[in-house]
Structures are given as structure tokens and as C-alpha cells.
């Protein structure tokens, strides 16, 4: 299951770090971040609860970029 989320991040480098952090989060099959579109697309594992997974994704992203925001 794929979902897209609007994100707030200050530069392409941080967007890339957010993508790496999201990919490593459990429940995430794959993730891509577009800095140009300020969008994160997450492909969830089967049976994963997107809201719960996104809370972990946001936590992981805040470790690499404390000011980032994901609207989910
Ligand atoms: Zn940055």
C-alpha cells in the first residue's frame, strides 16, 4: 500500500536523510522523498498500520533533521 505525504524540510540534503531514515523504519517497504515537490511517498509492508508507522518515520526523521515536518 502506497501513500503520499506533504513534508516540510529546508534542503535537498535533509530530504535525502529523511528518505534514508524512512526506509529503515519497520513497516516501511520503500520510501522516496522529493525535495522539489516537498512530498514523501511511503510503500507500507502488508498489514502495517500507516498512522503508527508514520509516527516512527517522523521520529526517525527528526533525529536527522529536528525541524522537519510530515503531515500525516
Ligand atoms: Zn538541511
Tens digit of pLDDT for each residue in 19-52?
999 999 999 999 999 999 999 999 999 999 999 9
Q: Domain limits at 57?
A: 2-71
Q: pTM for this structure? A: 0.95
Among positive and negative, which fits the CA dihedral 54, 57, 63, 64?
negative
- How many A from CA of 60 to the centre of ligand 1? 15
DSSP H or E stretch at residue 41: strand 39-44
- How many A from CA of 47 to the centre of ligand 1? 33
- How many A from CA of 46 to the centre of ligand 1? 32
- Count of structural domains within the chain: 1
Which chain residues have CB less than 5 Å from ligand 1, an ion? 10-11, 14
According to DSSP, the residues that pair with 2 across neighbouring strands are 43
- How many A from CA of 15 to the centre of ligand 1? 7
The band of 12, judged by pLDDT with boundaries at 50, 70 and 90, is very high
> What CATH number does residue 58 fall under?
3.30.70.100
According to DSSP, the residues that pair with 5 across neighbouring strands are 40
DSSP E strand boundaries for 14-57: 28-34, 39-44
Amino acid at each position: 500500500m502506497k501513500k503520499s505525504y506533504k513534508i516540510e524540510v529546508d534542503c535537498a540534503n535533509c530530504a535525502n536523510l529523511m528518505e534514508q531514515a524512512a526506509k529503515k523504519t519497520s513497516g516501511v517497504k520503500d520510501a522516496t522523498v522529493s525535495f522539489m515537490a516537498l512530498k514523501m511517498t511511503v510503500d507500507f509492508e502488508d498489514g502495517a498500520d500507516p498512522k503508527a508507522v508514520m509516527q516512527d518515520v517522523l521520529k526517525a526523521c527528526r533525529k536527522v533533521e529536528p525541524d522537519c515536518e510530515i503531515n500525516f
